Amino acid sequence: MFAKIAESKWMKFVLFITTFAFVGTAFVAIVIYKFAGNITGAAVVNGREISLQEFYYQVNVIQNRLENQGVDTAPLKKEIYDQALEAVIDRELLYQEAEKEGIAATKEEVKRAILDVEAFKEDGRFSKDRYIALLSGMNISPQLFEEIVRKDLSAQHLFTFLDASFYLSDEEINSYVYKQLSKLSGDFLYIKPQPLKISEEEAKRYYEKHKSEYTGKEGKEVIIYRIDIDKNNQEKSEKLAKDLFLRLKKGETEIKNEDIKIIFKDVIYDDTDSISNIPEELKKKLKEISPDKNIIFVKTDDAYYLSRFIRAVKEPLPYEKVKDEIYSKLKEDYEKRAVKELYEKISKESDKGIQSLMKKYDGKLEKIKDETVRDLIVRYGLTPEYMKLFIKDREGIIPLKDGILVYKIDKVTPPTDEESGELKKLVEPLLKNEKYNTLVQMYIDKLRKDAEIIRNERIFR
């Protein structure tokens, strides 16, 4: 029953079973912040703080699980952090609820669970040295690990009670099977909006208006100053450099002093080697310049160099490179508007009948005989929610991605007992898992709604 939950977006409830798939992976450095509201951890749940250590531990659990599946996690940092933060919040909520109900895991349960983990055993017996070494390799203390195990075991206790009160009725199973296997006969009219002809002029106008959205190379506009030590002597040059640094920190860039020369003011990209008349050390450091690190200071034997970040620059891609994308975008936007307008129009004329609508809108009419709802969903690209609609409402109008479907069901043929019996055996465990997961989600959502949760947004910066 818990197998499905373990794959859900919240957490793996039996954490210690899956924890050691990532043993040996270096743990990210932990930086402790002190902010407004005195939040030093990842979040505060009902006045109880969740440590950054627990948060980063969860980050590693998620990251290593994805990497073990062959997923490149580099571009997914924000998503992983989001998921990890919500997971530790849910874990804390469930643990606090278990405490209220008096069913939190005991120290003895935690001990037995840890002694049972194969990763901690040598020659079939628990090894304290191995236990300490593995946790140390992940930069997690035994105390924190035991706390996490305690929370997860407590969540299991809660879900055991939830499982005991859960059931799937025969009526629910029969209803699902009936909708899946019933065969429909009737008329299905597919109407598309008038096709759109996009002109080159219209596409170019769109490009000019939205060209900032089609980013090509990203660069940085910088200004570089040079103070000549040989010309001014060391003491004066040093004073000039310090004064310039302070003025640049204040945001000044228009420096009028004949002893301070502007030698470069332009946009740079990844390749800084093309900038002449600056030392190699400055070329390397310019790659690091950013809004956060906006001043670069370099001293050589003969000069001081100071560089100031001015702004980020995004060079738009040329029209020809994004032309096809623009045409697709304009077509998609038109289809959304056209389908909505067509749906509203046909809804007012539905009483005229399918034949009349077919002639007026030049639609494609299909006579369907003994096809299942699943067949129709695939044929017209519908979502599963329409399964019950076809059975319940014998006629209606459905907006599709690129058109309108008008239907009229003349006959519904129920499945035979033999067909129903075979499908029931297959779907019953799936339906139980689906309903149980929905119940779990509702339960956690309720805990979230009633809780006071403060997230530390600095961990995303």
The answer to the question of residue 428 being in a domain is no
**Cβ 83 vs Cβ 62: under 8 Å:** yes
Q: Residue 43 belongs to a domain with what CATH number?
A: 1.10.4030.10
The answer to the question of residue 101 being in a domain is yes
What is the per-residue pLDDT for 39?
Answer: 77
What is the per-residue pLDDT for 27?
Answer: 33
Tokens of 373: 């709802």
Residues 112 and 69 in one domain: yes
What is the per-residue pLDDT for 253?
Answer: 84
The answer to the question of residue 447 being in a domain is yes
Q: Which of 294, 316, 338 is the last residue of a domain?
A: 316
Give the residue ranges of the chain where pLDDT is below 50: 1-37
What is the per-residue pLDDT for 20?
Answer: 35
Tokens of 377: 């969903």
Q: Mind listing the pLDDT tens digit for each residue in 264-275?
A: 998 888 777 778
Residues 239 and 366 in one domain: no
The answer to the question of residue 419 being in a domain is no
Q: What angle is formed at CA 147 by the lines to CA 159 and CA 81, rounded to 5 degrees?
A: 80
The answer to the question of residue 42 being in a domain is yes
Residues 88 and 6 in one domain: yes
Residues 161 and 98 in one domain: yes
DSSP state letters, 310-346: EEEEEEEPPHHHHHHHHHHHHHHHHHHHHHHHHHHHH
Is the Cα dihedral 89, 91, 96, 100 positive or negative?
positive
**Cβ 245 vs Cβ 306: under 8 Å:** yes
CA distance 305 to 297: 6
**Cβ 381 vs Cβ 400: under 8 Å:** yes
Residues 310 and 329 in one domain: no
CA distance 409 to 271: 66
What is the per-residue pLDDT for 26?
Answer: 31
Residues 67 and 156 in one domain: yes
What is the per-residue pLDDT for 127?
Answer: 94
Element (H, E) at 442: helix 417-450
CA distance 71 to 438: 27
Residue with tokens 């390799």: 137
Q: Which of 316, 337, 352 is the last residue of a domain?
A: 316
Q: Which of 316, 332, 351 is the last residue of a domain?
A: 316
- In the chain, the number of structural domains is 3
Q: Show contacts of 97-104: CB within 8 Å, 24+ apart.
A: 97/158, 97/447, 98/154, 98/155, 98/157, 98/158, 99/154, 101/158, 101/161, 103/154, 103/157, 103/158, 103/161, 104/150, 104/154, 104/157
Residues 334 and 312 in one domain: no
Residues 226 and 160 in one domain: no
Residues 409 and 440 in one domain: no
Distance from chain centroid for Cα 442: 21
Q: For residue 7, what are the domain limits?
A: 2-167+436-460
Q: For residue 293, which phi and psi values (nearest 5 degrees)?
A: -110, 80
Residues 16 and 161 in one domain: yes
**Cβ 77 vs Cβ 117: under 8 Å:** no
The answer to the question of residue 206 being in a domain is no
The answer to the question of residue 173 being in a domain is no
**Cβ 80 vs Cβ 135: under 8 Å:** no
Tokens of 321: 């490179």
Residues 222 and 307 in one domain: yes
What is the per-residue pLDDT for 461?
Answer: 66
Q: Show contacts of 272-277: CB within 8 Å, 24+ apart.
A: 275/224
Element (H, E) at 424: helix 417-450
DSSP bridge partners of 187: 367, 408
Residues 273 and 335 in one domain: no
The answer to the question of residue 111 being in a domain is yes
Is the Cα dihedral 424, 430, 436, 441 positive or negative?
negative
